[in-house]
Amino acid sequence: MKGLQQSQVDSFKAGFGGDVILPEDSNYDEVRQIWNAMIDRKPGMIARCTSAEDVVKAVNFGREHDLLISVRGGGHNIAGKALCDDGLLIDLSLMKQVKVDPDKQLALVEPGCTLEDVDAATQKHGLAVPVGINSTTGIAGLTLGGGFGWLSRKLGMTIDNLVSANVVTAEGKQLVASQASEPELFWGLRGGGGNFGIVTQFEFKLHPLGPDVLSGLIVFPFEQAKSVISQFVNFTANAPEDLSVWMVARKAPPLPFLPESVHGKEVIVLAICYAGDPAEGEKLIAPLRQFGTPVGEHVGVQPFAAWQQAFDPLLTPGSRNYWKSHNFTQLSEAAIDTAIEYAGTLPTEQCEIFIASIGCATCLPAADAMAYSARDAQYVLNVHVRWESADDDKRCIAWAREFFDKTKPFASGGAYINFLTDDESDRTESAYGETYGRLRQLKKQYDPNNLFRVNQNIKPA
């Protein structure tokens, strides 16, 4: 790395408990891979931490030698903020321990864990914390950006269930942030991304769930899109908090419960998860089948951990991905029509438009209760464009941006920072809304020199 002598690198390696990987090492290219293949940055050094003490040493080394620092948890972020060029990558992916206290209904989770790791440990005890919907997502990035999924209508966002966090600051100090200790830092961690330090342990409140839940898919032909989506909007506006129904518009994958005649054709999918008694859930979802004439259905009682992995095959690492996202307080007819128009022109078979129905418990905290402020959002739309060849970059990205611009007039304020791409730094301030000024003051207090800036960055006041 520029400005570093070999003796300095050797000294760091000698005192570091984890692995230090350099560009000349045989496993360098494998270790620096992240989920989004569009991001191809080459760190000058990768410090693979195995403890909080390793994180302190890496932060101090980076600060003392004025290195650009990036931090990797699960490496799943769409913007690829885990990687930097020629700097120090602090890699937390080996820190994967989960400790569950079933009596206190608490879990201690290290930052390298994926959602699969968390679900596997908590579901052994019939407990869960609301997280995302793709099991290969990292718990650290998900949590620091907010976190929502199938359980959020009932149990709130992931940050609403964070009890405390162990943090290494830009000064290399270890702090515990909670309502009782460093409360202002705790406020900022809940939605402020990786701006204020590196979390080495999360403590989550757990809730009884499952281990089996009613969940699955109901698939409709695309020509019924207007009827299905309009009824989806009306239904979710009054659905009980235990029931989550999301809408996905995409080309049908070759799933065994779908007739071959619809494989590769545009379809409208209702994805369902009921976090209560399955028998009651069956009664509640019966009206969904009347939204149109389904071409296929796969709904039943299955382990919650298995449902959490249902979409993993559509989101495997190694493809090129680009997202655009809006929040909505309501979905107007014009917004629905625009979504249908663009769902009919998906640029590749892997692309999808999904609308997550949240609300209920996610709206209970005040807008300024935590760094994440978009508490009025009832729906989150994510345009997920996915393809294989760099030759298609321009065409696919242009399609996503055009759809984003066409739906912008119908969207509400704010944004979900975990869905912001690498070219959307201009949306960071508007994403936070009324909490942004307070976040800048917090950044000035804990990271005045902006050491942690490879993120959706909040600049110090």
For 138, which DSSP code? B
Fold match, 98-209 / 212-419: no
Topology of domain 98-209 in CATH is 3.30.465
Residue pair 83/89 in contact (Cβ under 8 Å)? The answer is yes
**What is the model's pTM?**
0.97
Which of these, 398, 414, 416, 395, lies nearest to 406 by C-alpha position? 398
**Longest CA span, the chain:** 70
Q: Residues with Cβ < 8 Å from 23, sequence gap 6 or more?
A: 42, 44
Residue pair 210/126 in contact (Cβ under 8 Å)? The answer is yes
Report the pLDDT value the prediction gives residue 413, as an integer from 0 to 100: 80
Per domain, the residue ranges of the chain are 6-91, 98-209, 212-419
Report the pLDDT value the prediction gives residue 19, as an integer from 0 to 100: 97
Q: Spell out where 226-346 has E strands.
A: 243-251, 266-274, 296-303, 320-328
Report the pLDDT value the prediction gives residue 1, as an integer from 0 to 100: 77
In angstroms, rounded to a whole number, what is the distance separating the alpha carbons of residues 455 and 205? 27
Report the pLDDT value the prediction gives residue 332, as an integer from 0 to 100: 96
Written out in words, the top-level CATH class of the domain with range 212-419 is alpha beta
In angstroms, rounded to a whole number, what is the distance separating the alpha carbons of residues 87 and 89? 7
Residue pair 199/452 in contact (Cβ under 8 Å)? The answer is no
Which of these, 201, 242, 202, 210, lies nearest to 127 by C-alpha position? 210
Question: Can you say how many angstroms the Cα of residue 395 is from the centroid of all Cα atoms in its chain?
Answer: 25
Pairing of strands 88-91, 45-48: parallel
Topology of domain 6-91 in CATH is 3.30.43
Report the pLDDT value the prediction gives residue 2, as an integer from 0 to 100: 75
How far, CA to CA in Å, does 78 sit from each of 7, 8, 198, 420?
A: 36, 33, 19, 7
Q: What is the pLDDT along the chain (461 residues), one digit of tens a residue?
A: 777 899 999 999 999 999 999 999 999 999 999 999 999 999 999 999 999 999 999 999 999 999 999 999 999 999 999 999 999 999 999 999 999 999 999 999 999 999 999 999 999 999 999 999 999 999 999 999 999 999 999 999 999 999 999 999 999 999 999 999 999 999 999 999 999 999 999 999 999 999 999 999 999 999 999 999 999 999 999 999 999 999 999 999 999 999 999 999 999 999 999 999 999 999 999 999 999 999 999 999 999 999 999 999 999 999 999 999 999 999 999 999 999 999 999 999 999 999 999 999 999 999 999 999 999 999 999 999 999 999 999 999 999 999 999 999 999 988 999 999 999 988 999 999 999 999 999 999 999 999 999 999 999 99
